[in-house]
C-alpha cells in the first residue's frame, strides 16, 4: 500500500521540485523602490519639469528687462566719409536711404572729391507715458506668475502620474503572484491526475482538461507580465531608473484601510488646486495684456538731447583743400535739446479693435477657468462615490475569499475520494483564483479612488506624505 502511494505521488513531488527550481531561477529578490523615491526622481529628471523651469527663468529675465524699459536711449556715432558735395534748395523725405549732402549749392555740378567728418551723440528718454511702463511691468509679472503656476501644475501632474503608475505596478505584481500560485495549484492537480491515470484510477480525459487549464493559466500569467513590463517602462521613462530595479513596495497596502476609513469620515479635504491656480494665472495674464493695449494709445512724453561736431575739407568759401586729411578735424560744434509729446490720432480705432480682441481672449480664459472648476468639482463628487463603493467591496472580499477557498478544498478532497469530476474541481479552482484576483482589483480600486479624490481636491502632496 505504501509503495502504491509512493508510485502515485512521485510525479507530483517531482513536478513540485521542478517548478520550485524554475521559480528560484527567475525570482531574484531585490529591494523594492519606495514611492517617495519614484516621485522625487520623476520631479528631478523628467524633461517637462526642466522645460517649465526654463520657462520660469525666461519669464523672470523678461520681468527684469521690462522693469528697466524706462532707461533712456543714448546713441553715439562717428562717421568719416569721402565723396562729392552737391545740393539744391528743396525738401524731401529721406526714407532712410537718401544720403545727406550739406551745402554745395552752386550753378554747376562739381565732381571733385572731398572728405567730411561728423560725430554725434543723441539721447531720448520717454519720461512719462500715462502708466504704460507700469502696465507692461504688470503684464510681465503676470506672465511670470503664469510660468510659475505652469511649473506647479506640471509637478502636480507628474506626482499624480508617478503615483498612478506605482499603484499599477503594485497591482500587476500582486496579480502575477496570484496567477503564479494558480499555476502551481493547477500543475499540482494535473500531476496528481496523471498519477491516478497511470494507476488506472482516472480516465485519460481528466489529464487533458487539467492540461488545458494549466495552459490557460500560463497564458494569463504572460498577459500579466506584459502589463507589468509596460508599467515598468512608463516608470523608467518617468524616473530614469532601470526597469529591472523597479519593484513596488507592497507594505503601503497596510495603510489602505485606515486611510480609507479616515477619508470617508473626514470628507473631501480643501486645498488650493494647482490646475485652478494655473488657469487663473492665464486669466490674469490676459487681463494684464488688455491693460497694456489700453495704455498703448495714450500720449508719450520724451526728453530729447543731441550734440554733434563736424569737419570738412571744403572751406566756408567753397574752396576744396587738396589735403583731404584736413577734413578729419572738427570745425563746427552744435547742440540741441527739447521735449516732445507724441500722440497717434489715427491709432485710436486700431487700438480699439485690438482691445476688443483681447477682451474676448480674456473672456475665453475666464470660461476655461470656470470649466476646470466644474470638472474638478464633478471629479470630487465621483471620487466620493467611488470611495464608498471601494469600502463596500473591501468589506465583502473576505467573505468571497473564505467561501471560494472552502469550496476549492472541499472539491479537491471529493475529487481525490472519487466523489466528483474534474470539471467541478476546475470550476472551484477558478472561483478561488477569481476571489484572489478580485481582492487585488478591489484594493487597486480603493487606491485609485483615493488618488482621484486627492487629485481633484488638490491634496496629492498630503496623500504622498501619508504614504511615507
**Is there a single domain that holds both residue 238 and residue 352?**
yes
Which DSSP category does 33 fall into?
A: B
**Is there a single domain that holds both residue 259 and residue 372?**
yes
The secondary structure of 396-447, three-state, reads: HHHHHHHHHHHHHHHHHHHHHCCCCCHHHHHHHHHHHHHHHHHHHHHHHHHH
Contact 146, 369 (CB under 8 A): no
The answer to whether residue 101 sits within a structural domain is no
What's the predicted TM-score (pTM) here? 0.81
pLDDT single digits (tens) 329-364: 898 999 999 999 998 888 888 888 899 999 999 999
Separation CA 375–CA 373 (nearest Å): 6
**Is there a single domain that holds both residue 237 and residue 369?**
yes
Separation CA 59–CA 436 (nearest Å): 53
pLDDT single digits (tens) 292-306: 999 888 899 999 999
Task: List Cα–Cα distances, 444 to 16, 111, 428, in angstroms.
Answer: 31, 94, 24
Over residues 317-322, mean pLDDT:
86
Separation CA 197–CA 312 (nearest Å): 122
Question: Rounded to 5 degrees, what angle do the CA atoms 165, 443, 264 make?
Answer: 105
Number of domains in the chain: 2
Over residues 387-399, mean pLDDT:
93
The answer to whether residue 5 sits within a structural domain is no
**Is there a single domain that holds both residue 269 and residue 169?**
yes
**Is there a single domain that holds both residue 358 and residue 450?**
yes
The answer to whether residue 383 sits within a structural domain is yes
In the predicted model, what is the mean pLDDT of the chain? 87
The answer to whether residue 144 sits within a structural domain is yes
pLDDT bin (cut points 50, 70, 90) of residue 2 is very low
Separation CA 205–CA 211 (nearest Å): 10
**Is there a single domain that holds both residue 323 and residue 364?**
no
Over residues 212-235, mean pLDDT:
94
**Is there a single domain that holds both residue 307 and residue 206?**
no
- Residue 419 pLDDT > 90: no
Task: List Cα–Cα distances, 50 to 163, 236, 366, in angstroms.
Answer: 20, 17, 28
pLDDT single digits (tens) 25-70: 344 457 899 999 999 999 998 999 999 999 999 999 999 999 988 8
Separation CA 49–CA 46 (nearest Å): 6
The answer to whether residue 44 sits within a structural domain is yes
- Residue 290 pLDDT > 60: yes
Residue corresponding to grid cell 529591472: 244
Give me the pLDDT at residue 106, please.
82
**Is there a single domain that holds both residue 330 and residue 418?**
no
**Is there a single domain that holds both residue 260 and residue 327?**
no
pLDDT single digits (tens) 194-220: 877 777 756 667 778 888 888 999 999
Sign, CA dihedral 233-239-240-242, equals negative
Q: Which domain holds residue 424?
A: 30-69+132-299+348-466
Domain limit, last residue, from 319, 342, 365: 342
Give me the pLDDT at residue 95, please.
77
- Taking CB atoms within 8 Å and a gap of at least 24, the contacts of 240-244 are 240/41, 240/45, 241/33, 241/38, 241/41, 244/30
What does the block give as the cell for 419?
A: 466523489
Over residues 133-154, mean pLDDT:
94
**Is there a single domain that holds both residue 249 and residue 313?**
no
* Position with higher pLDDT, 284 vs 102: 284
Contact 362, 287 (CB under 8 A): yes
Amino acid at each position: 500500500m505504501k509503495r502504491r502511494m509512493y508510485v502515485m505521488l512521485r510525479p507530483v513531488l517531482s513536478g513540485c521540485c521542478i517548478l520550485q527550481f524554475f521559480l528560484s531561477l527567475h525570482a531574484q529578490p531585490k529591494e523594492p523602490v519606495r514611492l517617495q523615491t519614484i516621485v522625487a526622481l520623476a520631479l528631478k529628471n523628467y524633461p517637462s519639469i526642466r522645460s517649465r523651469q526654463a520657462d520660469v527663468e525666461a519669464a523672470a529675465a523678461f520681468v527684469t528687462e521690462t522693469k528697466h524699459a524706462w532707461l533712456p536711449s543714448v546713441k553715439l556715432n562717428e562717421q568719416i566719409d569721402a565723396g562729392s558735395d552737391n545740393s539744391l534748395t528743396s525738401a524731401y523725405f529721406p526714407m532712410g536711404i537718401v544720403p545727406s549732402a550739406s551745402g554745395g549749392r552752386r550753378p554747376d555740378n562739381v565732381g571733385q572729391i572731398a572728405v567730411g567728418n561728423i560725430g554725434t551723440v543723441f539721447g531720448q528718454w520717454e519720461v512719462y507715458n500715462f502708466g504704460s511702463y507700469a502696465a507692461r511691468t504688470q503684464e510681465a509679472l503676470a506672465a511670470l506668475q503664469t510660468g510659475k503656476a505652469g511649473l506647479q501644475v506640471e509637478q502636480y501632474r507628474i506626482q499624480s502620474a508617478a503615483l498612478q503608475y506605482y499603484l499599477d505596478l503594485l497591482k500587476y505584481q500582486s496579480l502575477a503572484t496570484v496567477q503564479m500560485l494558480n499555476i502551481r495549484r493547477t500543475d499540482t492537480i494535473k500531476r496528481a491526475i496523471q498519477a491516478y491515470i497511470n494507476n488506472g484510477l482516472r480516465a485519460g480525459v481528466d489529464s487533458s482538461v487539467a492540461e488545458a487549464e494549466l495552459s490557460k493559466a500560463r497564458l494569463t500569467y504572460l498577459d500579466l507580465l506584459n502589463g507589468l513590463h509596460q508599467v515598468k517602462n512608463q516608470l523608467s521613462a518617468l524616473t530614469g531608473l532601470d526597469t529591472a530595479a523597479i519593484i513596488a513596495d507592497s507594505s503601503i497596502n497596510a495603510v489602505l484601510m485606515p486611510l480609507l476609513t479616515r477619508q470617508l469620515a473626514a470628507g473631501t479635504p480643501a486645498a488650493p488646486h494647482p490646475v485652478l491656480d494655473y488657469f487663473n494665472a492665464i486669466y490674469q495674464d490676459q487681463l494684464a495684456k488688455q491693460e497694456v493695449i489700453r495704455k498703448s494709445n495714450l500720449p508719450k512724453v520724451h526728453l530729447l538731447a543731441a550734440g554733434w561736431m563736424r569737419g570738412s575739407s571744403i572751406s566756408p568759401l567753397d574752396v576744396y583743400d587738396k589735403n583731404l586729411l584736413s577734413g578729419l578735424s572738427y570745425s563746427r560744434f552744435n547742440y540741441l535739446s527739447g521735449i516732445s509729446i507724441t500722440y497717434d490720432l489715427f491709432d485710436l480705432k486700431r487700438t480699439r479693435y485690438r482691445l476688443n480682441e483681447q477682451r474676448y481672449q480674456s473672456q475665453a480664459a475666464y470660461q476655461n477657468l470656470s470649466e476646470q472648476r466644474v470638472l474638478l468639482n464633478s471629479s470630487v463628487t465621483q471620487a466620493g462615490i467611488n470611495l464608498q463603493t471601494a469600502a463596500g467591496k473591501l468589506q465583502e472580499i473576505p467573505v468571497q475569499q473564505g467561501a471560494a477557498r472552502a469550496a476549492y478544498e472541499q472539491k479537491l478532497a471529493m475529487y481525490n475520494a472519487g466523489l466528483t469530476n474534474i470539471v467541478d474541481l476546475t470550476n472551484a479552482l477558478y472561483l478561488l483564483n477569481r476571489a484572489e484576483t478580485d481582492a487585488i482589483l478591489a484594493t487597486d480600486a480603493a487606491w485609485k479612488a483615493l488618488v482621484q479624490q486627492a487629485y481633484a481636491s488638490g491634496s496629492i502632496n498630503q496623500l504622498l506624505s501619508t504614504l511615507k
